[in-house]
């Protein structure tokens, strides 16, 4: 068992020293506080990781959606101009034939 680069003998030595320094009555309270702090850190770390993944997915989806190119943006105007020109030429042809 290797936690934080320490084996079982090192951890046992730290526990004995903590028992001598804090006493048997205070040690469970310190353990609970330390456990809550570690748990809070893990929860915050997971939340950060999930948020990061979500943002990365949103950016990736934004890059994958096709955007109209310049030619596609201009094309509707050209079509509309061609339709107006066709309509005008039809009007001139109709007007010319009516005048004759």
What pLDDT score was predicted for residue 77?
A: 54
In which element (H, E) is residue 85 found?
A: helix 70-99
> Is 4 found in the same domain as 20?
yes
> Is 58 found in the same domain as 25?
yes
> Is 23 found in the same domain as 59?
yes
> Is 60 found in the same domain as 21?
yes
For 3, the token pair is 């936690």
> Is 83 found in the same domain as 47?
no
Residues with pLDDT less than 70, the chain: 1-3, 67-100
What pLDDT score was predicted for residue 44?
A: 94
Q: 18, 27 in Cβ contact below 8 A? A: yes
What pLDDT score was predicted for residue 87?
A: 62
Residue tagged 């955007």 (tokens): 67
The whole domain housing 58 covers: 1-65
Say how far apart CA 32 and CA 25 lie, in whole Å: 13
What pLDDT score was predicted for residue 30?
A: 86
Average pLDDT of every residue of the chain: 77
What pLDDT score was predicted for residue 67?
A: 65
> Is 78 found in the same domain as 31?
no
Counted domains in the chain: 2
Residues 6+ apart with CB under 8 A from 69: none
pTM, two decimals, is 0.45
């Amino acid at each position: 068992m290797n936690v934080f680069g320490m084996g079982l003998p090192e951890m046992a030595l730290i526990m004995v020293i903590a028992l001598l320094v804090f006493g048997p009555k205070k040690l469970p309270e310190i353990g609970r506080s330390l456990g809550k702090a570690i748990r809070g850190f893990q929860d915050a770390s997971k939340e950060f990781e999930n948020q990061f993944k979500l943002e990365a997915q949103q950016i990736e989806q934004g890059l994958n959606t096709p955007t109209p190119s310049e030619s596609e943006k201009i094309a509707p105007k050209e079509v509309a101009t061609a339709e107006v020109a066709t309509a005008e030429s039809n009007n001139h042809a109709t007007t010319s034939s009516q005048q004759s």
